[in-house]
């Protein structure tokens, strides 16, 4: 079968996954595809940003990073007076704002925003920025990319999702995440019941292990909790668990086999995220799909993890991975190899809104996605969505741009950040 034909069939088989399958892991091919780097490289080279929507140049005149208390906004303006704004990942920008001001924003002044995709690649080499590759570089880059996409969306009348793909999901089903460790299995169950009574989610994700190789407390919590969650919430509940890199290979496989016994949907970060070979060994030993990628800064590493079937649920974080364009390339590599994309979410600010726009344009999105509560700090108006979970589903704002307007009086409270 030719590469193109295979990619097309995979794409066709995956479309509609999020809407129709109660268990997302049932979407995977029966056997792992053999590594095909040519296919992945071709996929990476496909453009994401829809430059063709813009007939005339959109020259970037100013880029400002604005701060009020611990909230950061990015405002970009074109020479023709168009404007876009983003809400940064403020918890990270508190430490990283000099990188934004010194190493990222100057590069964009005077450039044509229609060249966004090429500019992102040039920026990586500009001022030796590649030496900073990690959240340190990618959070500032994503913050600026989101402001540019908001501006381009407002110019074209398109949502951010429409600028990076076709719209596949206007609504997103959410899973209920519980982030607590160091509490008893019974207390975790009590918390999950309380959280589900508010979100009405049809899926759950909770924490196992001690986090990044630390010992677990209370002892044996995970192996008691995994069966208890299934018994408490029943066979129809879609259940996943996240170890945040708690285990070595042998222990990761032992815990994974308990999850398999209780029909769990995916198993997230069984070993530390940068243990690539060990992740592959765990994946080969288990049937349950392995999820990961929230910490991953490198497109080339994602290419390896996908080619070698180490991850079947890809979880780039749109902030931590440097924006929508780069994250979409991961989603597309996942698509052509029969895998799913369930992006990680940066919790503060508008992280969940950016995640929703991204998912709206991902045909192979997982069936359920994380949702964190609305930020109470930011006064805003959204005309097309309540932005809350209604019976387990959140509606994606339809734009233009972000589709969310921040109160202008609140923006005025911010001051421009200098290096
Ligand atoms: Mg995680």
Task: Enumerate domains of the chain plus CATH numbers.
Answer: 3-46+162-404 (3.20.20.120), 51-161+407-416 (3.30.390.10)
DSSP assignment, residue 395?
E
> 274 C-alpha vs ligand 1 centroid, how far in Å?
13
CA gap 387, 371 in Å, rounded:
10
CA gap 29, 340 in Å, rounded:
11
Contact 11, 363 (CB under 8 A): yes
pLDDT per residue rounded down to tens, the chain (419 residues): 333 434 433 443 444 334 333 345 557 888 999 999 999 999 999 999 999 999 999 999 999 999 999 999 999 999 999 999 999 999 999 999 999 999 999 999 999 999 999 999 999 999 999 999 999 999 999 999 999 999 999 999 999 999 999 999 999 999 999 999 999 999 999 999 999 998 899 999 999 999 998 899 999 999 999 999 999 999 999 999 999 999 999 999 999 999 999 999 999 999 999 999 999 999 999 999 999 999 999 999 999 999 999 999 999 999 999 999 999 999 999 999 999 999 999 877 899 999 999 999 999 999 999 987 667 779 999 999 999 889 999 999 998 999 999 999 999 999 999 97
Structure tokens given for 411: 């923006």
> 24 C-alpha vs ligand 1 centroid, how far in Å?
17
CB atoms within 10 A of CB 205: 24
Among 197, 196, 190, 191, smallest CA distance to 176 is for 196
Q: Write out the residues surrounding ion ligand 1, Cβ under 5 A.
A: 242
> 269 C-alpha vs ligand 1 centroid, how far in Å?
7
Going from the C-alpha of 207 to that of each of 97, 229, 323, the distances in angstroms are 31, 12, 26
Contacts of 2 (CB under 8 A, 6+ apart): none
């Amino acid at each position: 079968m030719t590469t193109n034909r295979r990619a097309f069939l995979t794409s066709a088989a995956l479309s509609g996954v999020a809407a129709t399958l109660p268990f997302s892991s049932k979407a995977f091919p029966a056997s792992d595809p053999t590594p095909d780097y040519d296919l992945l490289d071709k996929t990476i080279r496909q453009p994401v940003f829809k430059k063709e929507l813009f007939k005339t140049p959109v020259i970037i005149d100013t880029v400002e990073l604005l701060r009020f208390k611990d909230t950061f906004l990015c405002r970009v303006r074109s020479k023709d007076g168009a404007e876009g704004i983003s809400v940064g990942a403020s918890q990270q920008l508190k430490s990283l704002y000099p990188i934004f001001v010194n190493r990222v924003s100057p590069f964009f002044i005077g450039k044509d925003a229609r060249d966004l995709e090429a500019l992102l690649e040039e920026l990586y080499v500009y001022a030796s920025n590649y030496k900073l590759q990690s959240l340190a570089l990618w959070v500032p880059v994503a913050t600026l990319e989101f402001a540019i996409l908001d501006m381009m969306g407002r110019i074209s009348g398109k949502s951010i999702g429409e600028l990076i793909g076709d719209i596949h999901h206007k609504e997103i089903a959410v899973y209920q995440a519980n982030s607590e460790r160091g509490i008893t299995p019974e207390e975790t169950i009590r918390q999950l019941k309380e959280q589900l009574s508010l979100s009405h989610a049809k899926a759950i994700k909770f924490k196992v292990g001690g986090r990044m190789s630390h010992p677990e407390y209370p002892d044996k919590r995970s192996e008691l909790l995994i069966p208890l969650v299934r018994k408490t919430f029943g066979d129809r509940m879609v259940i996943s668990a996240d170890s945040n890199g708690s285990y070595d290979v042998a222990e990761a496989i032992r815990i994974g086999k308990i999850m398999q016994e209780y029909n769990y949907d995916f198993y997230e970060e069984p070993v530390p995220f940068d243990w690539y070979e060990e992740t592959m060994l765990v994946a080969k030993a288990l049937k349950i799909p392995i999820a990961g990628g929230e910490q991953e800064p490198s497109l080339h590493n994602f290419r390896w993890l996908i080619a070698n079937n180490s991850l079947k649920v890809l979880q780039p974080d749109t902030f931590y991975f440097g924006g929508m364009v780069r994250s979409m390339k991961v989603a597309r590599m996942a698509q052509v190899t029969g895998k799913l994309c369930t992006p990680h979410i940066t919790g503060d600010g508008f992280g969940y809104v950016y995640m929703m726009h991204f998912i709206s344009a991902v045909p192979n999105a997982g069936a359920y996605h994380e949702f964190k509560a609305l930020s109470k700090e930011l006064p805003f108006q959204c005309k097309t969505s309540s932005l809350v979970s209604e019976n387990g589903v959140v509606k994606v704002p339809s734009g233009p741009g972000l589709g969310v307007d921040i109160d202008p009086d609140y923006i005025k409270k911010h001051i421009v950040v200098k290096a």
